[in-house]
Amino acid sequence: MEEVDVEPTTTPIPGFDSNKKHLGFVWGPGDILVYETIYKASGGSAGGCPFVHEVRKDEDIYSPILRKLFNESHHIFVGLQRIRDDLPSKNKKPQFVSISKNYRSVIRACMEELQQVAGIPSLFTLKGVISMMSHLSLWCEQNFNIFCTLFFVCDPPAGSLVLHLLDWVRLHKADVDEKAREVLASESPAEHQAYWDVVISYVLQGRMDEARQVLVKRATLQPAARAMFKLLDNLLMKMPIFNPGETQTLTEFDVKWRHWREEVDRCLQDQSFASNPHLEDICKILVGDEDVLLEHKELLSTWYHFLVTRLLFSHPTVKPTELHYYAQSSMHMFLDTRCVPEPLDSILLAAFEFDIHQVIKDCSIALNNWWFVGHLTDLLDHCKLLQSHNLHFGSNLREFLLLEYASGLFTHHSLWQLAVDYFDHCPEFGRVYLELQIERVPLDTERKALKVIRICEQRQMTEQVRSICKIMAKKALRNNRLGSALSWSIRAKDAAFATLISERFLQDYCAKGTFSDLDLIDNLGPAMLLSDRLTFLGKYREFHRLYGEKRFSDAAKLLLSLMTAKIAPRSFWMTLLTDALPLLEQKEVIFSADQTHELMFCLEELTSGKSVPNPDRPMQVLGYPLSNVCFPFNLLIHCFIICSNLYSCLARG
Pairing type for strands 52-56 and 21-27 reads: unpaired
- Taking alpha carbons only, the member of 327, 357, 331 closest to residue 342 is 331
Give pLDDT, residue 113.
78
**CA–CA distances in Å: residue 418 to residues 59, 76, 377, 399, 633:** 17, 12, 18, 16, 67
Give pLDDT, residue 129.
39
pLDDT tens, 495-516? 888 888 778 877 777 777 677 7
CB crowding 393-423: b at 16 or more within 10 Å, else e: eebbbbbbbbbbbbbbbbbbeebbbbbbebb
Helix and strand totals (H; E) in the chain: 30, 5
Q: What share of the chain is helix, strand, coil (3-state, %, to 5)?
A: 65, 5, 30
**Please, are residues 197 and 179 in contact by the beta-carbon 8 Å criterion?**
yes
Q: Which long-range contacts (CB under 8 A, 24 or more apart) does 636-642 make?
A: 638/574, 638/577, 638/578, 639/603, 639/607, 641/581, 642/577, 642/578, 642/580, 642/581, 642/584, 642/599, 642/603
State whether 45 and 181 are in the same domain: no
pLDDT tens, 305-325? 999 999 999 999 888 888 889
**Please, are residues 309 and 326 in contact by the beta-carbon 8 Å criterion?**
no
State whether 174 and 298 are in the same domain: yes
Residue 554 within any structural domain of the chain: no
**Please, are residues 342 and 379 in contact by the beta-carbon 8 Å criterion?**
no
Amino acid letter, 418: L
Cβ burial of 34 (10 Å; 0-12, 13-18, 19+) is middle
The residue out of 276, 294, 318 marking a domain boundary is 318
pLDDT, block means (10 residues), the chain with 653 residues: 49 63 66 70 57 66 77 92 77 81 83 67 38 51 62 61 83 81 87 90 92 86 81 91 79 91 92 89 92 91 90 90 89 80 82 83 81 88 72 75 90 88 93 90 88 92 89 87 83 82 77 70 71 78 79 82 76 76 73 74 69 46 42 45 54 53
Give pLDDT, residue 133.
45
**CA–CA distances in Å: residue 534 to residues 385, 489, 575:** 60, 11, 17
Residue 369 within any structural domain of the chain: no
The model carries a pTM of 0.73
d(CA 238, CA 232): 10
**CA–CA distances in Å: residue 607 to residues 60, 585, 640:** 72, 22, 11
Strand order across the 31-40 sheet: 21-27, 31-40, 52-56
The residue out of 299, 318, 337 marking a domain boundary is 318
The residue out of 318, 336, 371 marking a domain boundary is 318
Residue 174 within any structural domain of the chain: yes
User: In 418-521, where do the E strands start and end?
Assistant: none
What lies within 8 Å, CB to CB, of 96 at 6+ separation is: 83, 153, 379, 382, 383
**390: helix, strand or coil:** strand
State whether 43 and 184 are in the same domain: no
Q: What angle do CA 347, 352, 354 make, to 5 degrees?
A: 95
Number of Cβ within 10 Å of residue 328's Cβ equals 14
**Please, are residues 604 and 540 in contact by the beta-carbon 8 Å criterion?**
no
**Please, are residues 61 and 412 in contact by the beta-carbon 8 Å criterion?**
yes
Pairing type for strands 21-27 and 620-621 reads: unpaired
**Please, are residues 300 and 204 in contact by the beta-carbon 8 Å criterion?**
yes
Conformation bin of residue 543: beta by default, left when phi > 0, alpha when psi is -120 to 50: alpha
Per the document, the length of the chain is 653
d(CA 409, CA 398): 17
- Taking alpha carbons only, the member of 380, 412, 393 closest to residue 61 is 412
**Please, are residues 629 and 583 in contact by the beta-carbon 8 Å criterion?**
no
**Please, are residues 486 and 501 in contact by the beta-carbon 8 Å criterion?**
yes
Total structural domains within the chain? 2
**Please, are residues 38 and 46 in contact by the beta-carbon 8 Å criterion?**
yes
Q: Angle formed by the axes of helices 371-382 and 89-118, to 10°?
A: 160
CB crowding 564-578: b at 16 or more within 10 Å, else e: eeeebbebbbbbbbb
CB crowding 97-109: b at 16 or more within 10 Å, else e: eebbbbbbebbbb
pLDDT tens, 132-144? 444 455 556 666 6
Residue spans of alpha helices (H) in 315-445:
323-334, 343-352, 356-366, 371-382, 397-409, 416-424, 430-438
- Taking alpha carbons only, the member of 565, 515, 556 closest to residue 535 is 565
Question: Rounded to 5 degrees, what are φ and ψ at 2?
Answer: -75, 145
Q: What is the DSSP string of 172-217?
A: H-THHHHHHHHHHTSS-GGGSTTHHHHHHHHHHTT-HHHHHHHHHH
**Please, are residues 243 and 253 in contact by the beta-carbon 8 Å criterion?**
no
> What one-character DSSP code corresponds to residue 556?
H
Find residue 404's DSSP bridge partners.
Answer: none
Residue 344 within any structural domain of the chain: no
Give pLDDT, residue 122.
40
d(CA 317, CA 161): 8
User: In 8-132, where do the E strands start and end?
Assistant: 21-27, 31-40, 52-56
Residue 38 within any structural domain of the chain: yes
Residue 36 within any structural domain of the chain: yes
Q: What angle do CA 453, 454, 455 make, to 5 degrees?
A: 90
Q: Give the range of the structural domain holding residue 253, as residue numbers without chain letter.
A: 168-318
Residue 205 within any structural domain of the chain: yes
For residue 547, the surrounding DSSP H or E stretch is helix 532-548
**583: helix, strand or coil:** helix
Q: What is the DSSP string of 240-290?
A: ----TTSS--HHHHHHHHHHHHHHHHHHHHTTTTTT-HHHHHHHHHHTT-H
Residue 276 within any structural domain of the chain: yes
